[in-house]
Structure 1
Amino acid sequence: MLKIYHAKNTRSLRIVWLCEELGIPYEIQTLNFTPADLQSEAYLAVHPLGKVPSIDDDGLILNESGAIVQYLLAKHGNGRLEPKPGTAGHGRFLHWLHFAEATFMVPLGNIAQHAFIRPEDQRIPQVAAEAQVAARKMLSIVDRELAGKDFICGPDFTAADTMMGYSLHLCKMFGLLTDDYPNASAYFARLAARPGFRKATA
């Protein structure tokens, strides 16, 4: 059975959520977001950087959330939660799936590190401040994209929404997802109401 290494409110949320949406059987190996768990010898054998998510699918270990999403779609999706490959819609799907991690998560990660995670004497306030400006720019882009749409790729929920939903989850936690972004706020409310999201954030 698919094993998901998961810590609360981390990127692994995306993988648990996707499995719930696709009905993929899985077991969770819960980790605390602490060096004792993430930097343990046992977990470093799974993920050499001591981060989450990781999956172990019958011996295949993967660590990147976007790659895991694409792998699970290819293995279990049967055409669900993504447009048909080779179409313009699929191109847009891939764009937003990867934007959520490769672009949006950069400033969010800096906010997390320099406002919350690192010891206070290791935080750089200017990094956190600049990251907030960048994150708001990303929110503006997403907000414009969502005008007149229920989900990031159109009328239908896709796996790109599990990627983007986590980024917005952090924005909400950091106090960035405000009424200044009405489309993104309404979109996140729709995502947060889904049973799969509620299960992944429980």
Structure 2
Amino acid sequence: MLKIYHAKNTRSIRIVWLCEELGIPYELERLNFTPAELQSEAYLAIHPLGKVPSIDDDGLVLYESGAIMQYLLAKHGKGRLEPANPGSPEHAKYLQWFHFAEATFMGPLGNIAQHAFVRPEDQRVPQVAEEGRQGATRMLGILDKELQGKDYIGGAEFSAADIMLGYSLLLCKLFGVLKDGHPNVSAYFARLSGRPAFQKATA
């Protein structure tokens, strides 16, 4: 059975959420977000950087949330949660937003996390956290424009790109970055966070 290594409020939410949406059976290995657990010899044998998520799928060990998502979609999706025609404009846009969530959006959010919450106070640089907030706000502006008149990032249909983005928006909410100035994003996140699979993944 698929085993997911998971810690609260981390990227592993994406993997649990996807499994809940697709009905993929899984076993959850809960970890505390502490050096004692993530940097333990046992866990470093799974993920050499001591980060989450990682999975063990009957002996196949993977990390990187986007790669795990694409692997599980290819293995279990049967066309669900992705546009139907690879190579089509719709599929190209889906890939853009799927990867935007991690490659672009998570950069400033990571700076906020590190310099406002994770690092010891004497190692935090407030300017880096503030620049992260400014960068994240810019990303929200881009999304707010894209979501005009849409229920989901690809239009009317929920997709795995929404799962990738939904985790980024969860961090925006937790960090106090997602406020009233981006009404389309706020409405979008309300739709995402109302899904039972999201609620299960973030419980």
With normalisation by structure 1, the TM-score equals 0.99
Task: Note if 1:48 corresponds to 2:48.
Answer: yes
Runs of 4+ in 1 over 6 A off after TM superposition: none
Alpha-carbon distance between aligned partners in 2 of 1:110 and 1:88, rounded to the nearest angstrom: 33
CA RMSD of aligned residues (A): 0.5
Alpha-carbon distance between aligned partners in 1 of 2:11 and 2:82, rounded to the nearest angstrom: 20
Partner of residue 125, structure 2:
124
Alpha-carbon distance between aligned partners in 1 of 2:64 and 2:107, rounded to the nearest angstrom: 14
Alpha-carbon distance between aligned partners in 2 of 1:12 and 1:183, rounded to the nearest angstrom: 26
Alpha-carbon distance between aligned partners in 1 of 2:107 and 2:13, rounded to the nearest angstrom: 17
Q: Deviations over 1:92-134 (max 9, x none)?
A: 1110000000000000000000000100000001100111111
Partner of residue 76, structure 1:
76
Unpaired segments ≥5 residues, structure 2: none
Q: Deviations over 1:114-164 (max 9, x none)?
A: 000100000001100111111100010011110000001110000011100
Identity of aligned residues (%): 75
Partner of residue 185, structure 1:
186
> 2:148 is aligned with what amino acid?
A
Task: Note if 1:139 corresponds to 2:137.
Answer: no
Matched residue SS, 2:36: helix
Partner of residue 36, structure 1:
36
Alpha-carbon distance between aligned partners in 2 of 1:9 and 1:117, rounded to the nearest angstrom: 13
Unpaired segments ≥5 residues, structure 1: none
Partner of residue 201, structure 2:
200
Partner of residue 105, structure 2:
104
